[in-house]
Chain A
């Protein structure tokens, strides 16, 4: 059972480039989310989805796009990378109700130069 798989693990982008961070889960979880982790800031929610075809914004959505065409996949798109998006990105999934456990991927370390 793979759990939550994120790719790539590391990425360097130039300012203005676009890319997609991939996230896949094999636990049939309805709820998926993306966070960014910055020093001294903890984890901040970017976007989340409560099921296929449904997405919503979190605390820091600007500069990011998401879609949820299947239960398993929840990609995060950076439209035009900026140095302020240098961060570690985590994808998480959980059963529908959040008073259960959230399962996190191992993270993607993104550097924008």
Chain B
């Protein structure tokens, strides 16, 4: 079946550091790709998404590009803030027509220190 592999961490960075979280996927067809973020004590919320090859999703300074040739969707941010401390999940949607599901990676915990 389809799967998502991502960096698991945990990772600790200093404020204003550059962030990359690697995510690769295995899928049949052309799934939509997502990054979800979970802040402490909360549920997941969508950070960004891309629905087709070469699409770039962006939000809150984060970016990720859907790379079909390398089956990747790496998350990047040029300058992290303390408020970015959270767990980040890469995910894809599989199936169609009423059988769609989200498949998640294992998540990566990021801590940003001042």
A residues apposed to B, CB below 8 Å: 4, 31, 33, 35, 40-45, 48, 50, 54, 56, 58, 90, 92, 96-99, 101-107
Q: Which stretch (B13-21, B42-50, B69-77, B78-86) binds chain A?
A: B42-50
Q: With A and B bound together, what is the CA distance between A31 and B97 in angstroms?
A: 12
Question: Does B101 sit within 8 A of A, measured CB to CB?
Answer: yes
- Using known A-B contacts A42-B89, A43-B89, A43-B104, determine if residue A101 contacts B44 with beta carbons closer than 8 Å: no
B contact face: mostly helix, strand, loop, or mixed: loop
- Using known A-B contacts A42-B107, A99-B49, determine if residue A104 contacts B43 with beta carbons closer than 8 Å: yes
B residues apposed to A, CB below 8 Å: 8, 32, 36, 41-46, 49, 51, 89, 93, 95, 98-102, 104-107
Q: Which of A43, A50, A90 contacts B98 (CB 8 A)?
A: A50
A107:B43 contact, CB within 8 angstroms: yes
B100:A42 contact, CB within 8 angstroms: no
A66, chain B: closest CB distance, angstroms: 14
In the complex, the chain B residue whose C-beta lies closest to that of A90 is B43
